Structure 1
Amino acid sequence: MTVPRAWRNPEKIRHCRPRPVTDAPAQIPDSKVGQLDFLLHRSGTLDLIDAELAGRPGPDGLPVRTVLIGLLLSLHYNQSASLADACRILLDQLQPPARSWLAIPDIDRDDQWARHAFSRRVYRSFDRLTTALDPLRIDRRRRLPLAEAAAHTAAWEDNDTERLRRRALLQDISDRLVLVTVRLAQRRGLFKGWRGDIGADTTAVPAWHHEPSDQRDLASVEVTAGWHFSGGSNKGVFGHSATLLVAASRRHSVGHPNAGRRISKHPQLALGAVLDTPGKRVGPNAIHSLTTLVPLGLPVGLLAADRAYTDQKTEHFQLHARRMGYQLALDYKRDQRGVQGTHLGAILVDGTLACSCMPDVLANATTGLDDKAVRDLDETLEQRLAKREPYFLKLKQGPAPDGTIRLQCPAAGPSPSVTCARFNRLHRPQASAPVVVDLTNARATAAHRSAKPSIQISPAERLRPPNEDKLPRICRKPTITVRPGDLGMIDKFRQDRPYLSPTWHDAYKPIRSHNEGLNGRAKGHHIDIADPRKRLAHGRVAQTVLLALMILMINLQILHDWTRTSSPEPIKADDGQGYDGLVPMPPTANGLPPPPG
């Protein structure tokens, strides 16, 4: 076999050898810097920060805008919200036009002392921001005694006017960073057809630092952190809890041509994010995020949440959600299933008001069942749940914008679902001419009054009917008005779809899966909020800002992937007034700064 001539040429052999990757850092295009700068300006956070920092003593230092853009670039290219990574990007990877936009001084990048001085300016600038927003600044370089740390933790819980203002300002900055991408999707028309279905969930955000030690009488460096326990887990995660809302979608109901498919197709963005101590303000944090969506004019639909939200007090979660117009889809713990209370003579059975004469075997079909039996329904349980439906009060009117509904006795109306001797005695029906029923027509047979379930009343009531004033309110006046909070403490269990029914499964299951999908994307894809090494800055203020920046970049990546896979035409940048920040900004002439947001 003859060796090819090229193989015997030493020069060609050297050219074919793999070359080592250069140590020089990659250059970030100005278009990406301009895009993130545009989004940061459009969010409005810089105005809030500048107003808060104005008049504070000390040198201005490096602009906070520069540090935030460095963190966004680090998240995009390095998947890290570390200030050290942001320093390297700002020093080594930006081109001259972007450096001039961000007011980065020209230094000798080979001089280690100059690099160290620049990094100190970056750290001081970020520290200046966190100090201004912190309700009570403490030394985060050491672990404090438990008693001293408890006093500082109380600054996040008390009603001091200045501390309340700082906490509200911090959350406002976080909300604006998250919502800038939601506004972008709304402007692009990506929420067209979305019905406003939202899933609320709380996920763990682990801390880098050690937990408190009772033996050593030392608190954690993260004084507001705690133990987050996920549902069904006995092992806690030390850190903070993040309340996340996701734009979700229910499925088409059974009988629809597209049964089992999503009603609307849209990017499943994070609509809100609140960082808090685990177990604190679970319901109010979700309500806060829902409130920030009101000015956007987005539709209001279903709100699905897990059992952590069902356990909230009515005035903390369910009451406000209903007043905003949301319909609830909830789950229950083992001891919460079955008959949960009464209201105006009607019983609350797994979140739905029903006739007080519902058979006990149906009303208590889910009483005491564990989660496994509820998730995997057997045939007997399915049949009992299906037999409940005729006894539920019927929706006569609503829901109104404030969540008010009107319900009707199942034996009332032109199409009753049950027959009731008590109802016929109190509200005598008009005599009607006999109707011939075609027994071969299943629909006509099922609609006949004699084919409907009969309410069983006691023989004593049949022989000696009691006075009308001694009967339940729902029997005397078969239509009742239910407003948010009317059921008192048990109103937290009420929901708008019968529990474990096909309509409940079409709403709750897909929305909850969208919550888990967002959590999985935020913890296992491009950016990982569950890795504390990616956000090493100390303190709740720093963690809140870094989490908001992470959610912003996660949403931006979701929009990028969505437009590439679901848009009929690729979206291009517009160098005119139509630019909105979805794609990198087009190059600017003569090194001019990007247009303000």
Structure 2
Amino acid sequence: MGADTSAGTVKDRHERLLAMRAERKLLNDEEVEPAIEDVDNSSLVALLQEFVHLDRGRPRKLTPRTLLIGLYLSTQITGGKVILELVTDILFFRLSPQMRQRLTVPDYPDHDQGFEAAYAVVRRLFHAMRAAIDPSPLPANKRLSREEAQRLAADGDPELLAAREHRLALFTEFVLDASVRPLRGLMNELSDGSLAVDATPIRTFARGRKTNGPELSTDPDAGWYVREGDHRDPDTVPVAEAMRPAAKGKKGPKPKKGRRKKPLLKKRAKYLFGYDAAFAVTRDARHDGVLLEDNTPNPDVLPALVLGVALDKPGQRPAYNGLKILSRLRERGYKPGYLAGDLAYNNSEPNEWQLPVRALGYKPVYDYRVDQLGQQAGAHGAIMVEGTWYCPSMPQPLIDATKELCDERIDRENWLQRIEARKPYRLMPKEHEDADGYQRMMCPAEAGKAQCLIKPHTLGRGIHLPLVDPEPSPAGPLKVCRQGSVTLAPISGAKDWQALEYGDEEWQKVYFRLRNSVEGFNGYAKNPLGEGIEAADSRRIRGIAAQTILLAFQLAHVNRRKIKEWVETLALDGQRPRKRTHHRRRTKPLGRWTPTGYLAPTA
């Protein structure tokens, strides 16, 4: 009797557990339709079908189109993360029979062996897709010796790797374009096309190794990120840089007499092992994100969204990666506007960044290092001061205004006054740039902005215009002073040229709106309660191609989440918004910024 009771209890318990296991939540067909629509409206399927195929053997049991739909659905369930086990569960066991038949998903038994067989199908197809767009000659998941890695890199086919890199770029573009498609028409109508480019570090799902050690990491394409101005690994910095003496005023303790101490090389602390993710974030630079009187967002000011991404080792090739994104954006039909970037970009060689960016139609706005302030270049007698061409007779205090501020020889209020006082000395455009970037620029006196003693017809215009008194020279007046206008080549001052006058109110508005937008987007996407893109656990497949694919789907989810939250906070046609807007932090007013801090508020 006791044995029968025990057997009955076990049987009852097993039945209850089986009932619990059977409670699998299926996805409604209505939840799957948006994924199908996004995939079908993109060019992803055509891109992959051209390269992901089997030359022989049995046909694949899953199509690239179905896999992409599964990846999309995984991000919707996990908040942006792609997990291949979840993709398997969704496609093979959580779709309705009608939807599985529509997507040509084969049936597998609903037990462990069936799941493993289905998972193998998903995994093989994903890695076939990854291999077709992998620009790296180094295999992941192996600790390659440094000699073997060098041999594989040397044996790689440059043309094939370049073709794969192009496919990977196309893949990320199609994924991101699908995420912003609902707003694409409004972007063309309302946005000025301005962008901010920035690289932010993300971890990879691998343990870093010593840079000069005998073995590479299991993610050989990643590197160490250093949380300082130079993000390169200190082990890869040239010896001359490491041996550079410390800055003045930062001397260490004096060694005791009679003892000879070895010179110490201060190593930078390594922060994380992973990649630099270069983003291009769109933001209308003409408007602040200020709320309307009813405390709701302005529907004419679109949210900041990411339009392009590229991965690379930290601190490596920022100009190359940024330019790759920008050139593809132009090919995809996005109009150019202002372009802001940090010091890593405008410290590149002009042929690698500044000139190509201008050729694409973008108008760069930059900040500068301390050693780049003041006069930067000259052409035909005109001088470039902090990115703008001026009359050579502009007073020296105006030329050195920012230098003197940083040296604490003038205060912030004086600096703003000097920046404003530069305007009458600025060379003015006489014509638009031609197709090659050449532009005719007028002397400020000829443009009616100043008066010049060597040009009598410019005198007598009023005391409100400054009087320019060029310094006499045995060679006679400079070309810009002799002529009414001069032609400036794009190469002249190309490294430092920018579209706005450094430091003035318009520059502050454009530069900080764009820079704040990309930094804000980075924080939004890295939020652990959201996509958490910085965390290694959010992308558990190694290699630059796999990391890029998974990151692209995460960023697409970020865009969709931002668009949805923005729409739900709008007050439209007299209706209340669905959700309240988060209170914005108090920000310092634009126009009161200086390179050494903001002006103190006036009473």
Letter in 1 for 2:548: T
Provide the aligned length of Structure 1 versus Structure 2: 508
Deviations 1:375-415 (A, max 9, x none): x97112222222222222123333557654432111213x2
**What's the counterpart of residue 466 of structure 2?**
453
What is the Cα deviation at residue 531 of structure 1? 1.4
Q: Relative to 1, partners in 2 of residues 1:117 and 1:430: Cα closer, same or farther, differing over 3 Å?
A: closer
Contact 1:249/1:263 (8 A) holds in 2: no
What is the Cα deviation at residue 474 of structure 1? 1.0
Partner secondary structure for residue 192 of structure 1? helix
**What's the counterpart of residue 108 of structure 2?**
107
Partner secondary structure for residue 506 of structure 1? helix
CA RMSD between the two structures: 3.2
What is the Cα deviation at residue 91 of structure 1? 3.8
Letter in 2 for 1:534: S
Q: Relative to 1, partners in 2 of residues 1:472 and 1:152: Cα closer, same or farther, differing over 3 Å?
A: farther
What is the Cα deviation at residue 51 of structure 1? 0.9
Q: Relative to 1, partners in 2 of residues 1:247 and 1:367: Cα closer, same or farther, differing over 3 Å?
A: same
Q: Relative to 1, partners in 2 of residues 1:195 and 1:263: Cα closer, same or farther, differing over 3 Å?
A: farther
Letter in 2 for 1:132: A
**What's the counterpart of residue 86 of structure 1?**
87
Q: Trace 1:16-415 onto structure 2 (pairs within 5 A).
A: 24-59=23-58, 60-79=60-79, 80-109=81-110, 111-135=111-135, 138-153=138-153, 160-187=158-185, 189-213=186-210, 217-229=214-226, 232=229, 235-251=270-286, 265-367=301-403, 378-399=412-433, 403-413=437-447, 415=448
Q: Relative to 1, partners in 2 of residues 1:126 and 1:431: Cα closer, same or farther, differing over 3 Å?
A: closer
**Cα separation, 2, equivalents of 1:318 and 1:215:** 33
Say whether 1:477 aligns with 2:511: no
**What's the counterpart of residue 501 of structure 1?**
504
TM-score by length of 2: 0.77
**Cα separation, 2, equivalents of 1:265 and 1:533:** 34
**What's the counterpart of residue 538 of structure 1?**
542
Q: Relative to 1, partners in 2 of residues 1:190 and 1:216: Cα closer, same or farther, differing over 3 Å?
A: closer
**Cα separation, 2, equivalents of 1:169 and 1:457:** 57
Q: Relative to 1, partners in 2 of residues 1:482 and 1:97: Cα closer, same or farther, differing over 3 Å?
A: farther
**What's the counterpart of residue 11 of structure 2?**
none
Say whether 1:421 aligns with 2:453: yes
What is the Cα deviation at residue 494 of structure 1? 0.5
Contact 2:173/2:307 (8 A) holds in 1: no
Deviations 1:86-119 (A, max 9, x none): 223334432223322332222222x211111211
Partner secondary structure for residue 52 of structure 1? coil
**Cα separation, 2, equivalents of 1:471 and 1:137:** 60
Q: Relative to 1, partners in 2 of residues 1:365 and 1:399: Cα closer, same or farther, differing over 3 Å?
A: same
Deviations 1:319-365 (A, max 9, x none): 12212222111111121111112122111111111111222222112
Contact 2:299/2:570 (8 A) holds in 1: no
Q: Relative to 1, partners in 2 of residues 1:42 and 1:483: Cα closer, same or farther, differing over 3 Å?
A: farther
**Cα separation, 2, equivalents of 1:62 and 1:205:** 31
Q: Relative to 1, partners in 2 of residues 1:267 and 1:100: Cα closer, same or farther, differing over 3 Å?
A: farther
**Cα separation, 1, equivalents of 2:336 and 2:505:** 22
Percent identical pairs in the alignment equals 28
Q: Relative to 1, partners in 2 of residues 1:240 and 1:56: Cα closer, same or farther, differing over 3 Å?
A: farther
Contact 1:334/1:369 (8 A) holds in 2: no
**Cα separation, 1, equivalents of 2:378 and 2:177:** 41
Deviations 1:143-162 (A, max 9, x none): 1112222444567xx77222
**Cα separation, 1, equivalents of 2:465 and 2:138:** 70
Q: Which runs of 5+ in 1 are unaligned?
A: 1-20, 433-447, 571-597
Comparing 203-212 with 144-153, greater Cα deviation is found at 144-153
Q: Relative to 1, partners in 2 of residues 1:46 and 1:288: Cα closer, same or farther, differing over 3 Å?
A: same
Contact 1:207/1:225 (8 A) holds in 2: yes
**Cα separation, 1, equivalents of 2:483 and 2:365:** 28
Partner secondary structure for residue 104 of structure 2? coil
Q: Relative to 1, partners in 2 of residues 1:466 and 1:96: Cα closer, same or farther, differing over 3 Å?
A: same
**Cα separation, 2, equivalents of 1:480 and 1:394:** 10
**Cα separation, 2, equivalents of 1:263 and 1:493:** 36
Q: Relative to 1, partners in 2 of residues 1:478 and 1:91: Cα closer, same or farther, differing over 3 Å?
A: same
Q: Trace 1:444-593 onto structure 2 (pairs within 5 A).
A: 448-458=461-471, 461=472, 466-467=474-475, 470-484=476-490, 486-487=491-492, 490-524=493-527, 526-566=530-570, 568=572
Q: Which has the higher contact order (CA 8 A, sep 6+)?
A: 1
Partner secondary structure for residue 228 of structure 1? strand
Letter in 2 for 1:541: A
Comparing 495-504 with 526-535, greater Cα deviation is found at 526-535
**Cα separation, 1, equivalents of 2:287 and 2:561:** 28
Comparing 376-385 with 341-350, greater Cα deviation is found at 376-385
Deviations 1:115-171 (A, max 9, x none): 11211221111111222333566543321112222444567xx77222222221222
Q: Relative to 1, partners in 2 of residues 1:307 and 1:64: Cα closer, same or farther, differing over 3 Å?
A: same
**What's the counterpart of residue 584 of structure 1?**
none
What is the Cα deviation at residue 73 of structure 1? 1.5
**What's the counterpart of residue 16 of structure 1?**
none
Deviations 1:259-278 (A, max 9, x none): xx999511322111122222
Partner secondary structure for residue 277 of structure 2? strand
**Cα separation, 1, equivalents of 2:559 and 2:385:** 39
